[in-house]
């Protein structure tokens, strides 16, 4: 696991660039004349393209190695950030988001790399470390993006955050090229060629019932997360008159809790209670937090709800990924992790598509209440997946 510190740093830099633009996208869409019902589907374009690309990029990383896919994702990602910052209308904004989504294979490949270099007993810890890196990027990114953009709604600057995001993606690319050794050598790829031939997504779903349930569970949990992410800026603008800087710092607090959970508490909780029980507790925390945000009228209840959501996300993500990795063989980990990611990607389409419509039709708190009901259903998926634990290798 000696490569994990380098991988952690690379992941932080890469996700930081992505996170910088997260709180700004609703304001960009609104500047071009999009209302809440249209803003959230625009956010979902990224995930629609990620849904198409993740299984393919995972399989490519199994065939050609992790490093080439990481470098491709980061290089083209840098271009997409520049296109996003320079967008002059909704069409250009959507195209930039689509390109970014197609190259969203870096996280899938990072998780596959982490499973390559860790043994089963330490896999939840390794994936928790990578999840903490993702959390650090999302924690710092929105705050930095908000500061660069400013807090005056009519004078938000989008190019400065986009330039920084592109620069960070290029820095991550250089670090992969110079400092990260390949975790899946040519010899290993040749040995596991037969496993790759069995790694088509439909084949994996047919032959791995536990993986089917885990993909569905990831979809349900991520639906709740994407609902929060896609409507939060619109909700906070309407309820509190918040600007990008305020949104960024509130998401910073949420991500800080998630990072603390992934980077510290998960490695203590999993050995004691097991991944299945921790995942179930995380789902409960997530649902309760969403209800508190929906019903909250003051900053105290909203902050408590966001903290519970952060704790739930920080506990569920590494446990779900670790359980999914146990369904993989040595030669198809990228494909399995890519398939697992498709559940999350599909949820990031459905969540934004529904959140704006629910918000407009049923009121500000309604999307969070729907998300709470949905995320609770993921508990049945974890219980079902426990009956098909995989190879444990």
* Residue-level pLDDT, tens digit, the chain, 393 residues: 457 788 888 888 877 877 787 767 777 777 777 766 677 677 678 778 877 887 788 888 888 888 999 999 899 989 998 998 888 888 888 898 889 888 876 778 888 888 888 777 777 778 878 877 877 777 777 778 878 876 665 667 788 888 988 998 899 899 999 988 888 777 766 655 555 555 566 667 677 788 889 999 999 999 998 888 778 877 777 776 666 667 777 777 787 888 788 777 887 888 889 889 999 999 999 999 999 988 877 667 788 888 999 899 889 988 888 888 787 665 677 777 777 877 887 887 788 778 878 888 888 888 999 999 999 999 999 999 988 776 544
Residue 261: which of 321, 305, 311, 306 has the closest Cα? 311
Are 281 and 261 in contact by the 8 Å Cβ rule? The answer is no
Residue that the structure tokens 């938000």 belong to: 156
Are 139 and 256 in contact by the 8 Å Cβ rule? The answer is yes
5, with CB counted inside 10 A (0-12, 13-18, 19+), is exposed
SS3 298: coil
Residue 125: which of 311, 329, 264, 7 has the closest Cα? 264
User: What whole-number distance in Å separates Cα of residue 159 and Cα of residue 24?
Assistant: 11
Residue 11: which of 139, 156, 101, 97 has the closest Cα? 139
> Treating both helix axes as pointing N-terminal to C-terminal, what angle do 299-325 and 244-260 enclose, rounded to 10 degrees?
50
Output the six-digit token pair for 113: 């790399």
Residue 60: which of 1, 100, 102 has the closest Cα? 102
User: What whole-number distance in Å separates Cα of residue 175 and Cα of residue 194?
Assistant: 32
State the DSSP string of 311-349: HHHHHHHHHHHHHHHTT--TT-HHHHHHHHHHHHHHHHH
Domains of the chain: 4-385 (1.20.1250.20)
User: What whole-number distance in Å separates Cα of residue 344 and Cα of residue 238?
Assistant: 28
SS3 303: helix
Residues with Cβ < 8 Å from 108, sequence gap 6 or more?
Answer: 54, 57, 58, 61, 334, 337, 338, 341
């Amino acid at each position: 696991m000696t490569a994990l510190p380098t991988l952690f740093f690379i992941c932080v830099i890469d996700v930081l660039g992505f996170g910088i633009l997260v709180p700004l996208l609703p304001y960009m869409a609104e500047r071009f004349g999009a209302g809440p019902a249209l803003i959230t589907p625009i956010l979902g374009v990224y995930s629609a393209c990620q849904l198409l690309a993740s299984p393919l990029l995972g399989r490519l990383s199994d065939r050609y190695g992790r490093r080439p896919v990481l470098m491709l994702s980061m290089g083209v990602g840098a271009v997409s950030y520049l296109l996003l910052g320079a967008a002059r209308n909704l069409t250009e904004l959507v195209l930039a988001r689509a390109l970014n989504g197609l190259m969203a294979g870096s996280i899938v490949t990072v998780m596959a790399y982490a499973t390559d270099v860790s043994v089963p007993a330490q896999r939840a810890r390794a994936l928790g470390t990578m999840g903490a890196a993702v959390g650090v990027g999302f924690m710092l990114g929105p705050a930095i993006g908000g500061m660069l953009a400013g807090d005056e709604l009519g004078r938000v600057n989008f190019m400065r955050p986009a330039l920084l995001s592109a620069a960070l993606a290029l820095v991550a690319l250089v670090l992969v090229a110079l400092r990260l050794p390949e975790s899946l050598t040519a010899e290993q790829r040749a040995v596991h060629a037969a496993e790759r031939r069995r790694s088509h997504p439909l084949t994996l779903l047919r032959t791995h019932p536990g993986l089917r349930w885990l993909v569905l569970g990831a979809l349900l949990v991520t639906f709740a997360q994407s609902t929060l992410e896609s409507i939060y800026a619109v909700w906070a603008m309407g309820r509190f008159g918040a600007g990008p800087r305020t949104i960024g710092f509130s998401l910073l607090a949420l991500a800080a809790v998630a990072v603390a959970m992934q980077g510290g508490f998960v490695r203590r909780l999993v050995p004691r209670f097991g991944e299945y029980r921790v995942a179930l507790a995380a789902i409960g925390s997530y649902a309760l937090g969403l209800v508190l945000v929906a019903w909250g009228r003051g900053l105290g209840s909203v902050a408590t709800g966001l903290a519970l959501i952060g704790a739930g996300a920080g506990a569920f993500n590494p446990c779900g990924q670790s359980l999914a990795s146990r369904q993989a063989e040595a030669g198809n980990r990228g494909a399995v992790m890519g398939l697992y990611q498709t559940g999350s990607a599909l949820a990031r389409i459905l969540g934004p598509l529904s959140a704006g419509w629910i918000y407009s039709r049923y009121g500000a708190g309604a999307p969070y209440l729907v998300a709470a009901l949905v995320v609770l259903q993921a508990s049945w998926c974890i219980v079902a997946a426990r009956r098909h634990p995989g190879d444990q290798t």
